[in-house]
Amino acid sequence: MADPEHLGDTAAPLRGREDEYAAVTAALDEARHGGRCAVVVVGAGGTGKTRLLRTVLADAARSWTSMATVLDGADVGWDVPPASTDGLDVSRLVVVDNAHLGDPERLESLTHTALAGRTNGSLLMVAGRPGRSGVTTEWFRGRTCSDTVTIRLGPLSDAAVRDMIADLTGGRPSDALAALAAQADGNPRLVRELVTGLREERRLRVTGGRTNLTGAHIPERVVVLVRRRLDQLSLRCRQLLQVAAILGRTLRLGVISETLREPTASTLPSLEEAISADLLDVRGERLVFQSTLVWRAVRGTVPAPIRLALEHEFGAMSVDADHDEAQPPPAVGDAPATPAGETLNRLNPTERAIAELVSAGLTNRQIAAQVYLSPHTVNYHLRRIYRKLDVASRVELAILAKSDGD
């Protein structure tokens, strides 16, 4: 089993954030030598803003004398820190986490107090989600006499995710585990919750420095995490997200309106709420769930009878448009161990034939020509296959098909 001592290790290195850490460290050095600077860390929920700030604060505490004040935007009654402590004019570090939840007027007052009139250097670090409460470089321009640095935290690279899993489990992830973790789309919090949930369900085993995975379904811990986020939303927004999840991870706005039989304008408030909650994202002309894990978890909150009825009603619309693209099958030697009940034996002959063709890398149109069915019917069978085997992608289906054939 995975070593529990590795999970939740706050001393683990910051994976995939080396450039961002270097930028904050440079601002820290400037304050240490009498400069004044504001650092704005912007990123979606779970991208590691708080972790980055805490690491920088810990480094400052070890390396030089300073006065640090840490505030949280979720707290209504911010106390603006005094100009000095015990008459000493030491370097000042002021950190505001979750700034998007705070009052802009208080943030402006805090900015002035933290940076104005300092002689021994000061650094104001503000972290928040983008597009709310002015958590951007532009908001600080004209309000301070300092340099302002903006750091945007995007998804971790695949290599950084693999390193993170190794830190958490004590072994390098197998290809099957790495493929499942890739469904977090590089979100550090989701990766950590996924690995922790897999360990809780005793589905990880470290052998010879390699962490292997049993089963392809997502752990209940991730579903609970997403369900809690849904509970914080309005009922209408939750319902819209659940319907959208049945339609697919990626979809056009018009498809939602058509499915709900509502004008597009009437869905905009709920969509804006879902986007603000970092559950949906806008990419080009499409709406996309933040990650495949989030999409699968939201879909899993829909009771099975309702999900089946909606899938039947929606028909071809419920297949993600991306599923029709050819994808290379994964390596045979790294297929996950498959528990009883999750093998291709649960499929009827037509479904099994389609699953085997998917594992060979064929597109839906190519499969349709092979089995003498229409692409629409192949889509329908794929939905049934995904549901029966509790998988959400062609890669996962291919892994199970390869494993079953060995």
91 and 43 share a domain?
A: yes
CA distance 161 to 26: 25
pLDDT for res 333: 35
DSSP 80: P
**How many Cα neighbours within 13 Å face the side chain of 326?**
9
244 with 358, same domain: the answer is no
179 in the same domain as 134: no
**Does residue 2 form part of some domain?**
no
Q: Tell whether 12 is covered by a domain.
A: no
pLDDT at 403: 60
DSSP element (H, E) containing 277: none
Instruction: Say if residue 37 is in the same domain as residue 142.
Output: yes
pLDDT at 214: 87
In a domain, 98, yes or no: yes
Question: CA 65: distance to chain centroid?
Answer: 36
Residue 309: domain span: 229-318
Q: What CATH number is attached to the domain comprising 338?
A: 1.10.10.10
pLDDT score, position 30: 84
Say what the pLDDT of residue 358 is. 84
Structural domain total, the chain: 4
User: What's the rounded Cα separation, in Å, for the pair 319 and 302?
Assistant: 17
Q: Is residue 365 domain-resident? A: yes
pLDDT reported for residue 22: 92
Q: What is the pLDDT along the chain (406 residues), one digit of tens a residue?
A: 334 333 334 467 889 999 999 998 888 888 788 787 888 888 888 899 988 988 888 887 777 666 677 777 776 555 555 555 444 456 778 888 888 777 777 777 777 776 665 567 788 888 888 764 445 555 555 555 557 788 899 999 999 999 999 999 999 999 889 989 999 999 999 999 999 999 999 999 999 999 999 887 889 999 999 999 999 999 999 999 998 888 778 877 777 777 777 888 888 899 889 988 889 988 877 888 989 899 989 988 888 888 777 776 665 343 443 343 333 333 333 333 444 334 677 788 788 888 888 887 788 888 888 877 778 788 888 888 887 877 767 777 776 776 655 4
**Do 303 and 314 fall into the same domain?**
yes
What type of residue sits at position 301?
T
- Strand pairing category for 250-252 and 66-72: unpaired
224 in a domain, yes or no? no
| C-beta separation of 96 from 127 below 8 A | yes
Whether residues 34 and 127 fall in one domain: yes
Same structural domain, 23 and 143: yes
Residues 194 and 254 in one domain: no
> In the prediction, which pLDDT does 237 show?
93
Please report where in the chains the tokens 């996962």 appear, as a residue: 396
* Cβ–Cβ < 8 Å for 104, 126: no
Q: Indicate whether 275 belongs to any domain.
A: yes
| Order of strands across the sheet that contains 66-72 | 66-72, 91-97, 122-128, 36-43, 147-153
User: Domain boundary at 129, 153, 177, which?
Assistant: 153
- Residue 143 confidence (pLDDT): 54
Final residue before a domain boundary, out of 287, 318, 349: 318
> Do both 286 and 299 map to the same domain?
yes
In a domain, 391, yes or no: yes
312 plus 240 within the same structural domain: yes
**Co-location of 141 and 23 in the same domain:** yes
Domain CATH for 248: 1.10.10
d(CA 380, CA 8): 41
pLDDT of residue 98: 83
Q: Is residue 147 part of a domain?
A: yes
Cβ neighbours of residue 112 under 8 Å, at least 6 residues apart?
A: 143, 144
In a shared domain, residues 266 and 303 = yes
What pLDDT shows up at residue 14? 85
